[in-house]
């Protein structure tokens, strides 16, 4: 059953409890914003003025230098990250949708076992498969290419995407499938004509998940792409901090810059995120 959408009736605080709740939420919000404050404020300081002992102080001399330097060094890699994340997210979503659809609506013998085999894959620690992974990519000539990294992210994203879509499609009534079957539609046409049009909320959830995970990945990016001009922005951010000594204002400014795309997605699409979670992926 499709749940009704979130009711947006909001009210002003009425009772004393309401006021207390509001104040508590405000404190929580301040706590949540605290690290962001430290990062932004440090990014706006001049390099010489950055010191641990003054970490809470507002910048004495406002300096855009940190942000300017960080942007200058990061922006080529932002392009790499976009080149990596967008295709990988789209591919993951499509494959996840197809798999989720099959597992939700076309039960065959052994399907449940296969699904468990698939889902278990999302739980492995990535360090444990690094060496065989690199050797395999070398063999298929995809090592050191963004294509290889996309392949890796798509494959390791298959379990979670399939899981989310499968839970989502399970909530779509079987009657719709039946009706299409009676019209002569086969497995593939039902997917294209019936399921896909209804699947937007799930696509948004999966899209946000995958975009966040792939954008923020560091381990695969650094081991599979050794050439710095091809590396994603998280690796470039790590390289902003030197090996032996660090320009903290540039590093913190860089951290803020790297976080912006995902933050923007969350702010703009946060509502759909909750709606998507609503539509079935919540119930396990």
Closer to other proteins by CB, 79 or 138: give it: 138
Q: Are 171 and 54 in contact (CB under 8 A)?
A: no
Q: Which of residues 209-268 bind other proteins (CB under 8 A)?
A: 212, 215-216, 218-219, 222-223, 226-228, 234-235, 237-247, 251-252, 255, 258-259, 262-263, 265-267
Residue 230: name the closest of 241, 222, 238 by CA: 222
Interaction between residue 138 and other proteins (CB under 8 A): yes
Should residue 197 be labelled a site residue for other proteins when binding is judged by CB under 8 A? no
Q: Does 132 participate in binding other proteins (rule CB under 8 A)?
A: yes
Per rule CB under 8 A, is residue 38 in the interface with other proteins? yes
130 lies in the site for other proteins, by CB under 8 A: yes
Applying CB under 8 A, which part among 22-30, 60-68, 81-89 lies near other proteins?
A: 22-30
192 binds other proteins (CB under 8 A): no
Counting contacts by CB under 8 A, is residue 60 touching other proteins? no
Nearer CB in complex with other proteins: 83/136: 136
* Under rule CB under 8 A, residue 25 binds other proteins: yes
Does 27 engage in binding with other proteins (CB under 8 A)?
A: no
Q: In the set 71, 87, 94, 121, which binds other proteins (CB under 8 A)? A: 121
Q: Figure out which of the listed residues 58, 62, 179, 192 binds other proteins, where binding follows CB under 8 A.
A: 179
Q: What's the per-residue H, E or C state across the chain?
A: CCCCCCCCCCCCCCCHHHHHHHHHHHHHHHHHHHHHHHHHHHHCCCHHHCCHHHCCCCCCCCCCHHHHHHHHHHHHHHHHHHHHHHHHHHHHHHHHHHHHHHHHHCCCCCHHHHHHHHHHHHHCCHHHHHHHHHHHHHHCCCCCCHHHHHHHHHHHHHHHHHHHHHHHHHCCCHHHHHHHHHCCCCHHHHHHHHHHHHCHHHHHHHHHHHHHHHHHCCHHHHHHCCCHHHCCHHHHHHHHCCCCCCCHHHHHHHHHHHHHHHHHHHHHHHHHHHHHHHHHHCCC
Taking residues 80 to 99 in sequence order and writing x for each that binds other proteins by CB under 8 A, - otherwise, the string is ---------------x--xx
Contact flag: residue 174 with other proteins (CB under 8 A): no
Comparison of 80 and 99: residue with beta carbon closer to other proteins: 99
Total residue length of the chain: 284
Q: Which stretch binds other proteins (CB under 8 A): 47-55, 60-68, 81-89?
A: 47-55
- Return the structure tokens found at 230: 């091809």
Report the distance separating Cα 97 and Cα 161, nearest Å.
Answer: 7
Residue 137 beta carbon to other proteins: minimum distance, rounded to whole angstroms: 8
**Does 62 help bind other proteins (rule: CB under 8 A)?**
no
Interacting positions 153-172 with other proteins (CB under 8 A):
155-156, 158-159, 162
In the complex, the smallest distance separating the C-beta of residue 78 from other proteins, rounded to whole angstroms, is 14
- Shortest distance, CB of residue 222 to other proteins, whole angstroms? 6
- Among 141, 147, 174, 200, the residue binding other proteins under the rule CB under 8 A is 141
What distance in Å separates the CA atoms of residue 119 and residue 160, rounded to the nearest whole number? Answer: 7
């Amino acid at each position: 059953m499709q749940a009704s959408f979130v009711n947006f009736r909001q009210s002003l605080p009425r009772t004393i409890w309401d006021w207390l709740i509001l104040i508590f939420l405000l404190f929580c919000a301040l706590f949540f914003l605290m690290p962001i404050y430290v990062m932004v404020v440090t990014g706006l300081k001049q390099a010489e003025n950055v010191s641990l002992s003054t970490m809470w102080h507002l910048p004495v001399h406002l300096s855009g230098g940190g942000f300017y330097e960080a942007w200058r060094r990061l922006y080529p890699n932002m392009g790499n990250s976009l080149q990596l994340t967008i295709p990988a997210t789209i591919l993951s979503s499509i494959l996840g949708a197809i798999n989720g659809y099959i597992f939700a609506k076309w039960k065959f013998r052994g399907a449940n076992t296969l699904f468990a085999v698939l889902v278990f894959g999302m739980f492995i620690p990535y360090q444990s498969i690094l060496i065989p992974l690199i050797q395999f990519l070398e063999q298929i000539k995809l090592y050191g290419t963004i294509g290889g990294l996309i392949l890796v992210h798509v494959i390791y994203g298959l379990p979670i995407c399939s899981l989310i879509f499968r839970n989502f499609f399970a909530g779509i009534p079987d009657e719709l499938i039946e009706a299409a079957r009676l019209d002569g539609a086969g497995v593939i046409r039902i997917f294209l004509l019936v399921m896909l049009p209804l699947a937007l909320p799930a696509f948004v959830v999966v899209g946000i998940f995958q975009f966040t995970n792939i954008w923020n990945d560091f381990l695969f990016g650094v081991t599979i792409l050794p050439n710095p001009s091809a590396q994603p922005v998280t690796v470039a951010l790590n390289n902003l901090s030197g090996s032996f000594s660090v320009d903290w204002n540039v590093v913190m400014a860089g951290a803020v810059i790297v976080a912006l795309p995902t933050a923007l997605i969350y702010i703009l699409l946060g509502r759909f995120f909750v709606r998507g979670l609503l539509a079935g992926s919540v119930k396990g």
